[in-house]
Chain A
Amino acid sequence: MANPPQSTVSDPASELAALLPFELLAELIALARTHGAEFAEVYGEHTVHAGFSLEENRLKRCERSILRGVGVRAVSGEQTGYAYADGFEPEDLREAARVAARIARAGAADGRPKSFKVVDAPAPFQLSEPAPAALDESRKIALLQRANDAARSHDPRVHEVSAALSDSTKQFVVANSDGLWAADRQYLARLTVVALALADGERQQGFAAGGGAVEASYFERDRSPETIAREAAETAVLLLAAREPEAGAYPVVVASGWGGVMVHECFGHSMEGDTIRKRTSIRATQRGQQVAARGVTIVDSGVVPFSRGSFRVDDEGTPAQRTVLVEDGLLVGYLWDLLNARLTGERPTGNGRRSSYRDYPLCRMTNTYIEAGPQAPEDLIASVKRGLYCKNLGGGSVNPADGNFSFQVTEAHQIENGKLTYPVRNATLTGNGNDAMLKIDAVASDLEIDGTTGSCGKDGQWKPVGVGQPTVRFTAITVGGTRT
């Protein structure tokens, strides 16, 4: 047992530790338990966001925003009370704690934790020069100009380019009535390019992104502005000549990397502990059962290096971990935050996350992906007589209760006799998550986890996530389109 470290320059979130000293945290927790709540938690945050955007060859947006404050949660059985205060004025925080406390209506509790134990989890990766801190305004703007130039010079049909760089530095401290104390500092940066191509009355758009929890050097060594811009421009120009998809249900091969958004939506959401405890997910009763094809292993891991979905500790102070959800087709584990783990007798898996101190934590995915299989990716396409190769997906959504999902496919190619024959645009994939993972009949070896750009929304809260998979083939998926 130890008290929180004293403020030092090297200590992550040291400023917050000074604003929320041990004594104040203990007092707030006790206040939040005044009416008998068995659990209480205080979460303090200071986040700085910076954003720049270059549109129409003009640097139009130069922005900075600051969000800081403290949220207090009190839990009584399955019931949660939550209130927050902007800023750190102790009297405002006490008021928030008093408000949260009233979820419980029993007698008073002796709620003050005896002491705090600092969560001492190792960082899954180290950043020596995190991009948000190491890149100054001029360097960020230079990246945008390079992206703009590269996209425009890629093809004369590229008519308009929007390039944006946004980053955030988030510090937080979390302490709870079990005596947990944790602090972290999380850096994210993202460079996005949208290219608009025009030709012969056709108009198409391409999108590409890079970033994550990355070093400043990422934009030179890993994904340069030129690489990102070229991908966006290539997609836009390719789609000008693309055809509409054939409507119907037929074999679909989904490319590695971002294609993993399918496993996130179709499967991952139904494995989140809140829906399991409340039995609103069909997966609640399927532990040990076959839920995916044999050979399919599905993992959620908060420790993938340099991904947006990774962290040292989650927003409840639980260390990030790698959790196997499906092993060789069998359901072996769920995702748990503190509340749902406690109510079901499970162990937290580091999936308690929240948008900011203005929201209570929910059970959320981190980086969710299908593990590599044995096959060569090109063999998956070569084996399809007539089908669709989905090279890039856009947004996707699922209703976890009924399983209905859909994805926008931003770039696809028709497969005919094992060969890619022409580009396809405006395809939408749909189906039911209950059986989607059972329809996988081949998994390639080219696993790629895309931790650059994903954001997942749940109950109005957005969180950065990573998704991934190798190239995967489905026996049949319903493809929406206008050609019958």
Chain B
Amino acid sequence: MSPFSAGVQPVAEAALEAVAAEAVERARAAGAEEAEAIVESTRSFTARALNRQVETLKQSVTHGLGLRVIVNGAVGFVSTNDFRSAALEDLTRRVVILARFATPDPANGLPAPEREDPPGDLRLFDPAVLELPPDRKIDMALTLERVALGYDPRIRRTEGAAVSSHDGAVALVNSHGLARTWSGTAVSAHVVALADDREGKQQTGYYGVSRRWLGELPPLEELAREAARRAVQRIGARPVPAARVPVVMHPDIGAAWLSDLHGAFSGAGVVKQASWLTDKLGQTIAAPSVTLVDDGRMPGGIATEPYDGEGIPTRRNVLIDRGRCAMFEFDAYYGRRMGTGSTGSAQRSYASVPGVGHNNLYLEPGTETPEAILARVDRGFYMDDQGSFGFNSVTGDYSYQAQGHWIERGEKAFPVEGVTVASNSLEMLRQVVAVGNDLRFEHAVACPTLLIAEMTVSGGVEG
């Protein structure tokens, strides 16, 4: 028998929709001109392995309701996970009061349901994820760690391996007759390998992926060996002196940059002139090889959803089209402010009001292999890990702590750490001289290997 009980029935979307519809009714009765309720229910199970045994097992069953109202043109919002009738009654009364404090704004308004082509089968829900027994997830986590530990004698420990499964449903109802429900699954696996370096120092190697379909997870052995390889190849890493050189970005680094870049395409920033792309619409901002896409409807995509956080159909938005700044993204509010309408880009959880965000964000792949791109660099830096902070969202300035390899004559010469890599995103976009053919969707943001013509690598070598 399985040690943990796991529900194998999908969450009933109709039940969530009924809760949402009732909340909208209550809000209308309490004096809201417009009302929107989002109800989410999610379940997840995570198994973590450490030192060849189970470290933690965690089961989560979460539900929540978010209620947005418009009263006299002003917005109020409440959220709760307390669905008792008296509690909802109290919260509904409060949200109408809260809205009366807010500033009326003609751009406020909830979307009416649009006529649309049916989304078709977006492959969001894999029954096999739901049915995956807890013991199997435990075995998977143990396997990940065991393979990582067996890769090299210098890997004597890990920071743990984890496998988790998620399933959930969401219902979105508003007072204009909009009613949307959808469900999805996800399965994630990751491991962090630690390799012994000199003087008690360690090097880390992380690798993890998320998929909606169990069958699309890469083989666990491959995943674990890649994490281990990343740790081992960092052994002996050292700083280099400051230099301006070409930089090859590993797909993880490119993806992190795309996440940073996306903020500049957010209508909220553009309207407030807080985006460094504010006046660049229609202009050439990048090399012709750069096409940046935000696709909400990629079948099976980990960030695919049929509707956005306001119930508007998602779509495929091309943000940079062969170098040209083609469009910005909006939710209903900022879409009205700009006069362009929503682009289906509202992102939220039940506990937050919608804001502009992205679905599957990626750079279209090129034709060169990563090896061919590396071979083009006579002397430069291959960047494959970075710190968490280093981007200026209003200027696009880029300055991250980096790890990777020094490149000499088209090959990785030695591992590097203790450096930073800096430039400005507009310059970097124009200086993209190669885009790899190695696009893989491992998370919501994906990027092929990139070659940037010149960035400043700042070394920790004194003098």
Contacts and interface: CB of A to CB of B under 8 A. Distances in A.
A101 to B, nearest CB: 9
Contacts of A367: none
A478 B58 contact: no
Interface of A: 52, 55-69, 78-87, 98-99, 102-103, 105, 137-138, 141, 159-160, 196, 198, 203-205, 247-250, 278-280, 282, 285, 358, 360, 394-397, 399, 401-408, 425-428, 430-432, 434, 476, 478-484
A405 B3 CA distance: 40
B77 A62 contact: yes
B459 interface: yes
B379 to A, nearest CB: 15
20 contacts: A62-B102, A63-B77, A66-B80, A66-B81, A67-B81, A83-B58, A83-B60, A87-B84, A137-B98, A203-B395, A247-B457, A280-B159, A406-B388, A406-B389, A406-B390, A431-B460, A432-B418, A478-B460, A480-B401, A480-B456
A30 B271 CA distance: 57
Given A78-B55, A480-B422, A63 B272 contact: no
B128 interface: no
Contact of B273 (A160, A279, A285): A160
B17 to A, nearest CB: 19
Contact of B400 (A86, A99, A196, A428): A428
B339 interface: no
B218 to A, nearest CB: 23
A406 B81 contact: no
A102 B4 contact: yes
Residue from B157, B389, B421, B424 having most chain A Cβ neighbours under 10 A: B389
Contact of A65 (B79, B99, B421): B79
Contacts of B83: 87
A438 to B, nearest CB: 13
A74 to B, nearest CB: 9
Interface in B408-454: 417-424
B290 interface: no
Interface residues of B, number: 90
Given A137-B98, A160-B272, A280-B157, A480 B388 contact: no
Contact of A482 (B58, B388, B456): B456
B293 to A, nearest CB: 26
A260 B157 CA distance: 31
A380 to B, nearest CB: 19
Give the top 10 A-B pairs by smallest Cβ distance, nearest first: A480-B420, A406-B401, A406-B387, A247-B458, A397-B388, A395-B389, A430-B401, A478-B460, A62-B98, A58-B103
B5 interface: yes
Interface string B83-122: 1100100010011011101110100000000000000000
A380 B272 CA distance: 40
A355 B204 CA distance: 26
B101 to A, nearest CB: 5
Contact of A247 (B91, B94, B194, B420): B420
Contacts of B194: 280, 401
A408 B389 contact: yes
B387 A403 contact: no
B456 A64 contact: no
Contacts of A405: 387, 401
Interface of B: 3-5, 50-51, 53-64, 74-84, 87, 91, 94-95, 97-99, 101-103, 105, 157, 159, 192, 194, 197, 200-204, 234, 239, 242-244, 271-274, 276, 351, 353, 385, 387-390, 392-395, 397, 399-401, 403, 417-424, 456-462
A249 B241 CA distance: 9
B390 A86 contact: no
Listed residue (A58, A105, A404, A484) with the most chain B CB atoms within 10 angstroms of its CB: A404
Given A406-B401, A480-B400, A484-B456, A66 B91 contact: yes
Nearest to B199: A434
B107 to A, nearest CB: 10
Given A58-B105, A402-B202, A431-B418, A480 B58 contact: no
Given A428-B390, A482-B423, A86 B201 contact: no
A6 B47 CA distance: 39
Given A399-B204, A478-B418, A63 B274 contact: no
Given A427-B399, A430-B420, A65 B351 contact: yes
A402 B422 contact: no
A434 B101 contact: no
Contacts of A68: 81-82
B416 to A, nearest CB: 11
A419 B426 CA distance: 34
B390 A408 contact: yes
Contacts of A84: 60-61
A99 B79 contact: no
Contacts of B457: 247
B145 to A, nearest CB: 13
A55 B197 CA distance: 50
A79 B141 CA distance: 14
B161 to A, nearest CB: 13
B389 A481 contact: no
Contact of A141 (B74, B101, B418): B101
B417 to A, nearest CB: 6
Contacts of A83: 58-61
A395 B61 CA distance: 32
A278 B51 CA distance: 9
Q: Which of B87, B159, B234, B460 has the most CB of A within 10 A?
A: B460
A360 B58 contact: yes
B200 A401 contact: no
A203 B81 CA distance: 41
Given A278-B157, A403-B201, A480-B458, A394 B389 contact: yes
A430 B62 contact: no
A58 to B, nearest CB: 4
A56, A58, A65, A483, most chain B CB atoms within 10 A: A65
A401 B204 contact: yes
A480 B421 contact: yes
Contacts of A69: 81
B459 A478 contact: yes
Contacts of B57: 79-82, 102-103
Given A64-B79, A402-B417, 16 more contacts: A55-B272, A63-B79, A63-B98, A137-B98, A196-B272, A203-B394, A205-B394, A248-B242, A280-B202, A360-B56, A404-B385, A404-B418, A406-B401, A430-B419, A480-B390, A484-B243
A428 B462 contact: no
B98 A64 contact: yes
B256 to A, nearest CB: 12
A408 B418 CA distance: 15
B274 A160 contact: yes
A86 B387 contact: no
B183 to A, nearest CB: 19
A455 B393 CA distance: 20
Nearest to B333: A60
A476 B418 CA distance: 12
Contact of A250 (B397, B456, B462): B462
A56 B337 CA distance: 12
A396 B389 contact: yes
B388 A395 contact: yes
A404 B5 contact: no
A59 B101 contact: yes
A160 B270 CA distance: 12
Contact of B202 (A137, A282, A480): A282
A56 B418 CA distance: 41
Contacts of B397: 425-426
Contacts of B62: 86, 358
Contacts of B273: 159-160, 196, 198, 203
A479 B458 contact: yes
B338 to A, nearest CB: 13
Contacts of A61: 75, 77, 102, 353
Contacts of B61: 83-86
B402 to A, nearest CB: 8
